[in-house]
Amino acid sequence: MRRSESDPNLAFACDHPAAAVAPAGAGAAGESAAGSGAESGGPSAGIDRLAPTRRPGGHPVGYQRWRALSFLHWRVPASVLRPLVPAELALDDFGGSCFVGLVPFTMHGVRPAWAPSVPWLSHFHETNVRTYVHLYGRDPGVWFFSLEAANRLAVWLARRGWGLPYHHARMSLSMAADGRIDYASTRRAGGAICNVTALPLTAPAAVAPGTLEHFLIERYVLYAVRGGRLHQGRIHHAPYPVQKARVVGYEETLLAAAGIPRAGEPIGHYASGVDVEIFRLKAVARGG
């Protein structure tokens, strides 16, 4: 059953699983507005969150254009996430809350640095399920629980080359005249689904460091296990043009397929897109 949003978020402290209430924002009947980011506390102290936004040295190994990104986030207890994340990585938190994100979008111009884009390979939809981590108190980034893509070859290449948990899916994306964006995805093996309708509400703008929006959205480091060893990848792009968004409705089983229960309603944001440089995956030195 497709859900529409109306209730407050149920917040869980990252270090204390007891529940607390945090408003998701006022919206029209049957819809929920984005969280304001006016959370108590802030991101984990002592972590440099600006360094990852700077362009890494060296040459990119690939390029991608990410478009029509919706960000849905739920608070999830650390006790749920900890067993699902490699021991070397610490869960990142904002004001004591850990988050899981669901991010549907589309990609264009996906190509290696040495080749042009190819229409049948370079343009496809994607959806990822992720949480936020850091490595020994630095390099805050993303840990992916799953990634759906509507291109079988891209799925195979990402699994083989990057060690990322990609799944082939049937996917669609459409935009209505009133600004609503509809995403639909069904995993070909197992049938996990993700159907989301989002409506951007505010003018696009870069988000300020220290805010919830920056914590959730401005992530430039990813982690993956390849060959039994933890690796780190870097990306670079201009800051996202972020808009608060109303999650008009959703029906999804991707979080459950990853072993993650969710409670409450999602915080919603939207970004029209960024042009991305991809840098080489590197093994993480043991012990930092």
pLDDT, tens only, 87-129? 999 999 999 999 999 999 999 999 999 999 998 889 999 999 9
Residues 225 and 110: their CA atoms lie apart, in Å, by: 22
Asked if the model's pLDDT at residue 241 lies above 70, the reply is: yes
pLDDT at 3: 58
Asked if the model's pLDDT at residue 11 lies above 70, the reply is: no
User: Tokens standing for 287?
Assistant: 């012990």
pLDDT at 285: 77
CATH of segment(s) 44-283:
2.40.400.10
CA distances from 201 to 10, 29, 198, 213 (A): 22, 15, 9, 15
Contact by Cβ (8 Å): 243, 270: yes
Asked if the model's pLDDT at residue 225 lies above 70, the reply is: yes
Q: Domain coordinates of the chain in residue numbers?
A: 44-283
The DSSP bridge partners found for residue 182 are 174, 197
